[in-house]
Structure 1
Amino acid sequence: MTPLHQIDPGRHLLIAGPTASGKSALALTVARAQGGLIVNADALQIWSCWRVLTARPTSDDEAAAPHALYGHVAPDVAYSVGDWLRDVAGLLHRRLIVVGGTGLYLTALTQGLAHVPPVPPTVRAEGDARLATEGGLARMAADLDPATRARIDTRNPARVQRAWEVLTATGRGLADWQADTPPPLIAAHDAQRILVTADRDWLADRIAGRFHAMMRQGALEEARAMLPSWDPARQWARAIGAPDLVAHLRSEIDLPTATERAIIATRQYAKAQRIWFRGRMKDWQPVQADAKSTDRN
């Protein structure tokens, strides 16, 4: 990892990296040595219902340094990248150590985000219904304007539905709205930007070991607590591993199968993160993950 003497305490620090690469350990080390507020940039760690399953900082971590925007959103609340940016904006009077693996959050923070009008609930409900039908994802992607369709991952249901809803509600494609992007909250010269990189096989082993540790620490109990309100269409239900544990709790698969599926899903998520970082964060400073780190993130 980057030595502390190479980190500028006079600027914000942004740390990106794939899941389980040890970036949260780096953030905590910096905060303890230099001061600063650790700010979550992981779209899964915002949910109050998932602490273990999303590998949020432990209570000991939170006691060692101030943290913000972890577990602060209730499951019945919709939350967007725009909401996250507004939350971060309220913290800019402090030196921030922003850490996470959600590329959309980090690029919006450093490159700006278009102010797209809110989508009416009726349009969102129609989008949910269309996506739930057989072949719904492909049809929604086909309905998008060409510029937007070329810019998003058309295999990602959340991204496709969002783009479809914006086009339906406003008559303008998401790409068109994004062309009117305002200045970023944190410009490149105002922050040191670090991208943690890791060997694929090393990271795969880390992911597997971490998920088994999560199971010992209560991940299944977290899923059981959310079972009565389970709805796979809700944002909070997209936590990696949650669908697999719920399937086990519903007696659809055995626990070893659920565990293996969750590990595979996490590895696939890490691959998607690396693709985003390579494509959109080429100007970030790469640092190799610390093989000795025991941090989960």
Structure 2
Amino acid sequence: MSLPVEIHPDRPVLIAGPTASGKSALAMHIARSQGGVIVNADALQVYGNWRILSARPSAEDTATVPHRLYGHIGAQADYSTGHWLREVAAILQTPVRAIIIGGTGLYFSALTEGLAEIPPTPPALRAEADHVMATQGLSTLLAALDPTTLARIDTRNPMRVQRAWEVQRATGRGLAAWQDDTPPPLLPLTACTPLLITANKDWLNARIARRFDAMLAAGALDEVRANLPLWNPALPSMKAIGAPELIAHLRGEMTLDQAREAATIATRQYAKRQRTWFRARMRAWQPIEAETLTA
């Protein structure tokens, strides 16, 4: 693999990009050629109950290069951007160069722009929010938000909307107001090499389809079956793309071919949301075309 940009071996590297775009291969190449520890920046890959569907690094990769923050959180544990940022801060204090890789844009913005120190949501309020979402829907939560927060968040993302609602109810201040009091970033872009993998839609869609087929061949259905006793769509750990569709198949609600098609479509839609977010929030990052990395 040849890199189209110069990467300084002593600076941390950030690698963001949509799902299935080749981020892991790039991180492995940099780690093998320059050294470093690969650090997860994907909100789903932190959970231990999804190895296949979350596309966690293979046993061969983790035996070759040190990896951190993969699969270390229980399925029912509470884990937030703040938890992740504190764990990354500890890694950055070590002498080993970090190669931070993932598709969760919020993690990267917290790392490079700072994260507001918002008090945690009380469990009773979280339960109330879950109830409102389940019985009244997203529109009720949106209607309660202050105008500034409403204009700033992704109103199509239920988790982000519920989080904003919880913050406002718990603290009496809108999420936007808390964000405006954000402290300095842990790792500003000027102190690292930020790389953003971009990908042609058709090229990426074909990769997504092939990867899901590979997941099925690797035992994704058995992995989903093992998660059936824990299944709760409201849990952050249960947001694995493809899991709801394979759950529906196991329950006899659709054929495996139908589940495969639905999961592939859901993955494409997720990748589209990622690309939209990256274009809006990562304009200062160094773009790298995914096709050049796999040529």
CA distance in 2, matches of 1:181, 1:8: 29
TM norm structure 2 = 0.97
Counting only pairs closer than 5 Å after superposition, residues 1-297 of structure 1 correspond to structure 2 as 3=3, 6-92=6-92, 93=94, 94-134=96-136, 136-290=137-291, 293=294
Root mean square deviation, CA, Å:
1.3
Q: Secondary structure at the match of 1:114?
A: coil
CA distance in 1, matches of 2:130, 2:12: 38
Paired residue type of 1:266: T
- Rate the CA distance shift 1:251–1:171 in 2: closer, same or farther, 3 A: same
- Rate the CA distance shift 1:38–1:184 in 2: closer, same or farther, 3 A: same
Gap regions ≥5 residues in structure 1: none
Paired residue type of 1:113: L
CA distance in 2, matches of 1:229, 1:192: 39
CA distance in 2, matches of 1:126, 1:33: 50
Deviation at 1:293, TM superposition (A): 3.0
Contact 1:12 1:97 (8 Å CA) reproduced: yes
Paired residue type of 2:3: P
Deviation at 1:292, TM superposition (A): 6.5
- Rate the CA distance shift 1:118–1:5 in 2: closer, same or farther, 3 A: closer
- Rate the CA distance shift 1:145–1:2 in 2: closer, same or farther, 3 A: farther
Contact 1:47 1:74 (8 Å CA) reproduced: yes
Deviation at 1:158, TM superposition (A): 0.3
Paired residue type of 2:275: R
CA distance in 1, matches of 2:4, 2:183: 33
CA distance in 2, matches of 1:142, 1:97: 40
- Rate the CA distance shift 1:37–1:47 in 2: closer, same or farther, 3 A: same
- Rate the CA distance shift 1:5–1:160 in 2: closer, same or farther, 3 A: closer
Deviation at 1:77, TM superposition (A): 0.2
Contact 1:2 1:287 (8 Å CA) reproduced: no
Deviation at 1:2, TM superposition (A): 6.0
% same residue: 59
Paired residue type of 1:116: I
Q: Secondary structure at the match of 1:154?
A: coil
